[in-house]
Amino acid sequence: MTINLAMNTDLARIGIPDSKLAREITELVRDTESPLLFHHSSRVYYWGALAGKRRGLRFDPELLYAGAMFHDMGLTHQHSTMEERFEVDSANTARDFLRSHGVHQQDIETV
């Protein structure tokens, strides 16, 4: 399978959001996940942003970054429970983090 990255998308315009929230997300995830999982989550953000831009979708890069970076957090010992699947633990971790940083409920639900 060949993937054409030259698809009318300027890769230089895809970057991690330059915000306090994004920096704190990066710090938490880097300190919690293995390097392998951290880089996987980062790639999820880049691929999601590229796919969204290619399709002409409008999205909040900061919320996309939060969702991508937290999506596997439930696989870590610190954020897993015996009661929930890892996907639910990941979503709960994202919710709690975003809530503690004053993110509006509607945006938390988007993530």
Quick one: pLDDT band at residue 72, thresholds 50, 70, 90?
Answer: very high
pTM beyond 0.75? yes
- The answer on pLDDT for 61 being more than 60 is yes
Residue 60 banded pLDDT, cuts 50, 70, 90: very high
What kind and span of H or E run contains 87? helix 86-100
CA distance 71 to 47: 14
Tell me the C-alpha distance between 51 and 48, whole Å. 5
Q: What is the structure's pLDDT at 6?
A: 47
Q: What is the pLDDT of residue 13?
A: 77
Exposed (0-12), middle (13-18) or buried (19+): which is 68, by Cβ within 10 Å? buried
